[in-house]
A and B are shown apart, each in its own frame.
Chain A
Amino acid sequence: MSRSSFFGLDIATRGLYTAQRGMTNVNHNVDNINTPGYSRQVLEQTAARPMLMVDGSGMLGTGSEVRGVKRVRDEYVDVKYRSEAQYLGEWDVKSTLLEEMQALYNEPSNSGFSTVMNEFYNGLQQLSTDPSSHSSRAALKEKAVMLTKYFNSVASHFEYLQNDVNDIIYAKVQEVNSLADQISRLNKQIYNYEVTGNVANDLRDQRGNLVDKIAKLVNVEAYEISYGKLPTGLEDMRFVVTINGKAIVDHYNVSHLEAVQRKEKANDEDIENLYEIGWADGNRVSIKSGELKGYLEVRDGNDGANGSPDYRGVPYYQRKMNEFVRVFARTFNEGIIDIDGDGVIDKTLGHIDGYTLDSQQGDEAAGIRFFTILDEDGNPMDSTTFALFAGDSPADIDIDYYNEMYSQITAKNFSVSSEVYDNPTHNIAIIGAAEEPGNVAVMDAILDLRHNTYMFNEGAPEDFIKTIISTMGVDGQQATHYYKNQMTMTNQIENRRQSLSGVSINEEMANLVRYQHAYNAAAKMIQTHAELLDVLVNRLGV
């Protein structure tokens, strides 16, 4: 059985093609070494179909051919990566925001809460040693204003933070939607391309990268699911991304998330118009992890109160500060406090029971409240208007009456009363009896409260703030700790992925040399065949 004269040239040409294809592949890999999400590709190179020799001499090899190009990727590692990346996103956000929140309290430092509080009490002490001193009175007023401004400023900054986080949540929802749109477009391209039996390596890499991105934002699962068989006999595989089991991307279709402004506040301490995240079709979505969860918990977390997330976020600290200023002002003004911790509210001396420097023999106590609120125009309110809010004063000590009155105070509007603000010399009423400027009974009662450990569940006033700040410190420490752990885990998984799918320059260069040699050899074969043909055609002298 004879063979075609050009059969050798055919084989050699195949060799050239294969080597060329190999070099192109090396080129593609090297070019994409830094492309995010890229996985290296390898040739599926086989021996070409051999020819059966009729004369029984066996099979005749016909050279090599490239069956396809495959990407090297382990889908399991992808799933692992995504399940860790969602917690990385969550703790990244929390650790960053908690650092910001700690900076708001500015502790420990020489200008934080403990400083303004110490200054205020030192002012009181100074005045108690010389109750008729005008300069000590003016100084005390300034220190009280400093104290109230500290709370106003911290509370405002918490509001700014809540507002910023709210804006970020809106932006992140848009980002999720945009990623979902991109994934669905890629689904279309990949599906159309693969319906003919090819594998869309590079498009699949791009899609994987988008899913990695969305996994950092919110808890998603991504998988391919078979919808039966295509007419060609191939499986009809469609790609689905779900949040909590509901598909955000289902093949070509996308269900968007939506951020809608709340009609009603979730927490009393919240600012207006926070965004609620839901599905655009009106269904509720529960976000279990990812950056979005981090932002939501910091924005809404009120330690589980009012159905809020079980996390200590902005509303929690606002609530705690409000509690502080309310109880502190009530005790200071009215002397209404459970002074001995027996669960019964007691009445001791408060600023309201004090006399001013002008009080005359026979006058009643001045009835001035030291702390009130800023009114709508931002001016200190007088103590009578402040008290009117709760209606008529009851005959007996009625804690509900006082709770009602002091519910007006928040950390943001906390202020000294207009009486004290406008005329501290006369209206700071800490004297125990009319015309007795040396009698500091009221001042002593007020000063004693500084160390009353029954004022708050957390203890004395300074213990309360100390507790808040160390709680925040512990939460911050925990968040940083989790973030670092999560970072290590994701880095480790990313390394595993890179180890398998990453491009190695050494390897590619070795391959380049390998294919170059193969190419040279194939070329040599062509040259040799050409010489053979030259002899056959030109030199036989026929």
Chain B
Amino acid sequence: MRITNNMLINNMLSNLGTNLGRVSKSQNQLATGKKISLPSDDPIVASRALKLRTDVAEIKQFKRNVEDATSWMEISETTLKQVGEVLKRTKELAVQAGNGTNTPEDMEKTKLEVEQLKIQMTHLANTTYSGRYIFSGFKTDKPLMDEDGVFQIDIANGEQIFYEVGIGDDISINVAGSDVFNYGNDAIAGEKSSIIQTFDDFLAALESGDGTNVGAVLGQLERDSDNVLRVRAGVGARMNRLELTSNRLEDDNISFTKLMSKNEDADIAETIMYLMNELNVYNSSLSVGAKVIQPSLVDFLT
């Protein structure tokens, strides 16, 4: 084959272009840390990258939801514990009041304490979490009851607020006030809470000084305590589930982030190796090219 000067130059330029293109690709990968810069570099990687980004973003949001849910439920849990303590103290007072050895002064003191406990109970029923009433079901903007223990809103046990903590995985985060303060019966605005009714019954019994009525109150308190314990157990179980979900999300977050990195991040060591190799090739093609295209017969004719 006849080789002409322009062939040499054209071939050299085209090869230099190809080599420089490879250097530029590696350099770009190193500078951005990503394997690809356009979907056409590798459509499969690009489409997986989009999917994984969405997965990671979702997991992060679910984690935030779990954190919110946990705070809400911690408040519920603490409040329920306090409700239990109030009931326990009231029960102690009822036992004391029912043993028939109390002086009227004792009864008066007991009555004062029970009144305070009742107020404490209504306050607990109106506990808020970042401005929202946690026992008011869907009507989070309204308090559950007034100071006399009269419900301000209708509330059904079915008013469960759900947080999404996974795709298709909802968890109920609230306790309907009716479940705790109305012995599991749906509450109707204007009616008195059954727990507060118990307090009122106690106060009435103390007023009358009749020890036998206190016995009936004790039974009601027993019943209410059991009810609160039941609700607390439910909340505890749900918090357990939240904890498990949170651990799973944490694991998912790590594994999906890892997957995302594996999918789209450039392997730096490998890329540097390639880059060095390509630079070598580029350098040698430059030096060989420069040597080959220069001399011709002209240089040797004198």
Contacts and interface: CB of A to CB of B under 8 A. Distances in A.
Interface string A97-133: 0110011010110000111011101100110111010
Contact of B5 (A439, A466, A495, A503): A503
A235 B141 CA distance: 101
Contact of A451 (B49, B51, B137, B167): B167
Contacts of A119: 57
A152 interface: no
A510 B5 CA distance: 14
Interface stretch (A81-89, A429-437, A534-542): A429-437
Contact of B168 (A451, A469, A480, A498): A451
A412 to B, nearest CB: 22
A502 B7 contact: yes
A502 to B, nearest CB: 3
A130 B138 contact: no
A500 B164 contact: no
Contacts of B2: 499-500, 504
A448 B11 CA distance: 59
B139 A437 contact: yes
B139 A435 contact: yes
Given A132-B140, A510-B297, A472 B4 contact: no
A477 interface: yes
Interface stretch (B39-47, B101-109, B191-199, B217-225): B39-47
Contacts of A509: 296-298, 301
A321 B220 CA distance: 65
A34 B58 CA distance: 61
A506 interface: yes
A198 interface: no
A495 B39 contact: no
Given A444-B162, A476-B40, A33 B6 contact: yes
Interface string B61-88: 1101100110000000000000000000
A105 B88 CA distance: 64
A473 interface: yes
Interface in B212-248: none
B43 A438 contact: no
Most buried by A among B39, B49, B57, B163: B39
A500 B1 CA distance: 9
A491 B297 CA distance: 26
Interface residues of B, number: 59
A34 B38 CA distance: 37
Contacts of B296: 505-506, 509
B56 to A, nearest CB: 9
B39 A499 contact: no
A447 interface: yes
B143 to A, nearest CB: 14
A473 B14 contact: no
B40 A480 contact: yes
Nearest to A125: B61
A439 B140 CA distance: 9
Contact of B38 (A102, A132, A439, A466): A102
Contacts, number: 176
Contacts of A435: 139, 141-142
A474 B69 CA distance: 43
A103 B37 CA distance: 9
A305 interface: no
B50 A107 contact: yes
A108 B264 contact: yes
A432 B54 CA distance: 27
Nearest to A463: B51
Interface string B166-179: 01101000100000
Interface in B8-50: 10-11, 14, 34, 36, 38-44, 46-47, 49-50
B36 A438 contact: no
B50 A462 contact: yes
Nearest to A118: B57
B252 interface: no
A130 B173 CA distance: 12
A530 interface: no
B3 interface: yes
A466 B61 CA distance: 21
Contact of A107 (B44, B46, B132): B46
Contact of B53 (A114, A440, A505): A114
A477 B36 CA distance: 12
B7 A499 contact: yes
A400 B206 CA distance: 72
Nearest to B21: A484
A494 interface: yes
B140 A440 contact: no
Interface in A458-498: 462, 465-467, 469-470, 472-477, 479-480, 491, 494-495, 498
A230 to B, nearest CB: 36
B182 interface: no
B53 A118 contact: yes
Nearest to B2: A499
B40 A34 contact: no
A473 B38 contact: yes
A438 B174 contact: yes
Contacts of A115: 53, 57
A130 B11 CA distance: 67
B130 interface: yes
Contacts of B90: none
Contact of B4 (A125, A502, A513): A502
Contacts of B6: 33-34, 498, 502-503
Interface string B118-146: 00000000000011100011111110000
Contacts of B69: 129
Interface in A439-460: 439-440, 444, 447-448, 451
Contacts of B62: 125
A494 B6 CA distance: 10
A476 B42 CA distance: 10
B43 A473 contact: yes
A102 B174 CA distance: 47
B276 interface: no
Nearest to A499: B2
A105 B39 CA distance: 10
Nearest to B4: A502
Nearest to A487: B14
Given A498-B7, A499-B2, A505-B296, 9 more contacts: A122-B60, A126-B61, A130-B68, A130-B132, A438-B161, A472-B40, A499-B3, A503-B4, A503-B6
14 contacts: A102-B38, A107-B46, A107-B49, A125-B65, A129-B65, A433-B138, A439-B159, A451-B167, A451-B168, A469-B50, A470-B44, A477-B40, A477-B41, A498-B4
Interface of A: 33-34, 98-99, 102-103, 105, 107-108, 113-115, 117-119, 121-122, 125-126, 128-130, 132, 432-433, 435-440, 444, 447-448, 451, 462, 465-467, 469-470, 472-477, 479-480, 491, 494-495, 498-500, 502-506, 509-510, 513
Interface of B: 1-7, 10-11, 14, 34, 36, 38-44, 46-47, 49-51, 53-54, 57-58, 60-62, 64-65, 68-69, 130-132, 136-142, 159, 161-164, 167-168, 170, 174, 264, 296-298, 301
